[in-house]
Amino acid sequence: MNQLVISGGKRLEGSMEVHGAKNSVLPILAAAVLSGSVSIIHNCPRLTDVEATLEILRHLGCRVQREGHTVIVDSSTLDRCDIPEGLMREMRSSVIFMGALLARTGEARVCMPGGCELGPRPIDLHLSALRRLGAEIREMGGSLRCRGRGLHGGEIALTIPSVGATENAMLAACGAEGLTVIYNAAREPEIWDLQQFLNACGGRVSGAGSSTVVIQGGRALHTGEHRVISDRICAATYLSAAACAGGEVELTGVPREQLLPVTEVFVQAGCRVRTEAERVWLRSEGALKSVSPVRTAPYPGFPTDAQPPVLAALCRAKGSSVFVETMFENRYRYTMELARMGAQIRVEGRVAVVTGVPCLSAAAVEAPDLRGGAALTVAALAAQGESRITGLRHIDRGYEDIAARLRELGAEVRRTTDSVSP
């Protein structure tokens, strides 16, 4: 059984470059099928979600080559429009291939996607957006049959600013004749990054980063080259680790404005934070302080994916802090594992109240999902003794070799295959 073995209580010191954003590279890889040409994508982290996406591309007939953190996709050989259930169930973001395949081939056959079990996340917004562009979609016992050989532009008004639905609509609209306007679009940096890639391939997309995205479809796309933005959630995780364990950490390559909701929490907690254009520095000395209520929200609000590691960091803060989770109803499952380490957390519905304790104790715990695994890692770095974290298949979805990354900062952590279970 794979597990992280972490000897806590050691200060973190040093500088680290943050790897490419998981939530950005996945839709960009799906978008690579649009051009029917070669896409060169830099800063692609080695994550299991990324590797699963590359397997989907290979299944579709694309030629895929990885050279370090650069991935080269030749979609001129694409000859399929179906994705088998096994690949779809590995990650929820695989649903993004619907829009890309419809735009490229006029057809897509997929099943309902998998991913972390964070509560109901229906894809009805994806389907209604694609139907607005002329797609015909039949739902048959968990599978989706999509046809759209005559896609046309249109106006799409999302009832909530869904990231995935915005991305799917953008991709499909690139293959639709005419102008498409997406209202109440998601504003996340990953949407902007997708726009940059599409435009590098000859697309005409504007407005990403605002609530209105405009796509001029029907344009011939060509070979494109792009560098993926850095992962702001990974950055938030490593800042949480330094805040919790204590120390002085510098993260490079991540735009400061993307981390402002997170760094503001740590400033309230008593950390010293300094930011530059592509650099964030945090110093944590002594006990943290409780903070004003943290409420998750779509970008530019506090990110739901950063909530677990930040909450874990505040488990040792003096006083009580309140978290309100507005995005996913099952996001707090990891708090039961934190309790095994001595954390005092009371959860009622979407609200969690964290009362700080003087110290955390090492324990054997299991990651219930990706960001919950990050939270347990943060807590283990500050806990007294040796903690063992299993369920690494979740952590590997979004963090590239997290043990080696933490060792860069002076943490005592190793990955083992011991047979011990929590």
Over residues 395-411, the pLDDT tens digits come to: 999 999 999 999 999 99
Q: Indicate whether 203 pLDDT > 60.
A: yes
Contact present, 392 and 416 (Cβ < 8 Å): no
Give residue 420's pLDDT: 47
Give residue 87's pLDDT: 87
Token code pair at residue 51: 């590797």
Query: Pseudo-torsion of CA 35, 36, 38, 41, nearest 10°?
Result: 50
SS3 assignment, position 217:
coil
10 Å CB burial of residue 70 (0-12, 13-18, 19+) is middle
Cis bond leading into 161, ω under 30°? no
Instruction: Choose the catalytic residue: 62, 81, 116, 174.
Output: 116
Catalytic annotation present for 116: yes
Q: What is the pLDDT confidence band of residue 357, given thresholds at 50, 70 and 90?
A: very high
User: What is 102-154 written as a DSSP string?
Assistant: HHHHSEEEEE-------S----HHHHHHHHHTT-EEEEETTEEEEE-TT-B--
What's the mean per-residue pLDDT of the chain?
A: 94
For residue 321, which of 352, 298, 297 has the smallest C-alpha distance? 352
Average of pLDDT values for 255-266?
Answer: 96
Say which residue the tokens 């607005």 belong to: 132
For residue 10, which of 317, 406, 313 has the smallest C-alpha distance? 406
Q: Compute how many other C-beta atoms are within 10 angstroms of the C-beta atom of residue 394.
A: 20
Question: Where would I find the beta strands (DSSP E) of 189-348?
Answer: 204-206, 212-216, 224-227, 247-252, 272-276, 279-284, 294-295, 320-324, 344-348
Contact present, 202 and 219 (Cβ < 8 Å): yes
pTM (predicted TM-score): 0.95
Distance between CA atoms of residues 183 and 207, nearest Å? 10
10 Å CB burial of residue 141 (0-12, 13-18, 19+) is exposed
Q: Compute how many other C-beta atoms are within 10 angstroms of the C-beta atom of residue 268.
A: 17
Average of pLDDT values for 374-390?
Answer: 98
Q: Which backbone phi and psi does 201 adopt, to 5 degrees?
A: -95, 5
Distance between CA atoms of residues 308 and 334, nearest Å? 8
Report pLDDT digits (tens) over 131-170. 999 999 998 877 899 999 899 999 999 999 999 999 999 9
Token code pair at residue 176: 């639709």
SS3 assignment, position 179:
strand
Report pLDDT digits (tens) over 217-226. 999 999 999 9
Q: Indicate whether 388 pLDDT > 90.
A: yes
Q: How is the chain split among helix, strand and coil, in percent rounded to 5?
A: 35, 30, 35
Give residue 86's pLDDT: 86
Report pLDDT digits (tens) over 85-132. 888 887 777 899 999 999 999 999 998 765 444 444 468 999 999 999
Q: Which residue has the higher pLDDT, 37 or 328?
A: 37
Average of pLDDT values for 67-87?
Answer: 95
Token code pair at residue 297: 């929200």
Q: Which residue has the higher pLDDT, 291 or 115?
A: 291
Q: How far is CA 284 from CA 214, 240, 317, in A?
A: 43, 10, 12
Q: Which of 18-27, 107-116, 213-222, 269-278 has the lowest mean pLDDT?
A: 107-116
Give residue 149's pLDDT: 86
DSSP 8-state class, residue 11: -
Give residue 422's pLDDT: 43
For residue 130, which of 170, 92, 160 has the smallest C-alpha distance? 170
Distance between CA atoms of residues 409 and 402, nearest Å? 11
For residue 249, which of 21, 401, 374, 411 has the smallest C-alpha distance? 411
Give residue 117's pLDDT: 47
Q: Compute how many other C-beta atoms are within 10 angstroms of the C-beta atom of residue 356.
A: 18
Average of pLDDT values for 278-283?
Answer: 96
Name the amino acid, one letter, at 26: L
Distance between CA atoms of residues 281 and 248, nearest Å? 7
Q: Indicate whether 303 pLDDT > 50.
A: yes
